[in-house]
Amino acid sequence: MTTFARRARAAAARLHPELSLVSYTLLGHLEERAGCRVTDLAAYYALDKSTVSRQVAALERAGLVERHPAPEDQRVHVLVLTAAGTEILAQVTRNRRAMFEERLADWAGEDLDRFAACLLRYNEGGRPAPGGAAGSA
């Protein structure tokens, strides 16, 4: 798993040198949920809010995310992707997809099916439990 994590960080650096794996992950989360609060990000990833706030501040300085007042409570701010954030995320996603397609091009169909099933199983084990704590996988 350590090798897998190292490769993921290295791949993220190659896909977009200015975007860390953590930044890419946060942008993807915001896109998937059409925005959320910093506290929601911290709870989802089981991190301290100050840690997430530092990452978000860097994304704000880069012009990739911005804060908007929540419709239900103007005192609460929701993070949303900017147009630049949406474009950079799309670019990294396209690059990542091309990298995976190239790497898996010579795999047999049954190997791809087995690999996909294992990834689904692995990802299902990591879903947050009710209350925000991550699973044991």
Its pTM stands at 0.69
Q: Give backbone dihedrals phi and psi of 79, rounded to 5 degrees, phi first.
A: -85, 135
Q: Give backbone dihedrals phi and psi of 40, rounded to 5 degrees, phi first.
A: -65, -40
Which residues share a beta bridge with 79?
Answer: 36, 67
Q: Give backbone dihedrals phi and psi of 63, rounded to 5 degrees, phi first.
A: 75, 25
Which residues share a beta bridge with 36?
Answer: 79
Q: Has residue 65 got a pLDDT over 90?
A: yes
pLDDT range class, residue 131, cuts 50, 70, 90 = low
- Residues 82-94, mean pLDDT to the nearest whole number: 90
Residues of the chain with pLDDT > 90, as a percent, come to: 47
| Each residue's pLDDT tens digit, 101-121 | 998 999 999 999 999 999 899
The whole-number pLDDT of residue 86 equals: 94
Out of 1.10.10.10, 2.30.30.90, 3.40.50.720, 3.10.129.10, select the CATH number for domain 2-105: 1.10.10.10
Distance CA 126, CA 53 (A): 23
Secondary structure class of 48 (helix, strand, coil): coil
DSSP for 49-101 reads HHHHHHHHHHHHHTTSEEEEEETTEEEEEEEEE-HHHHHHHHHHHHHHHHHHH
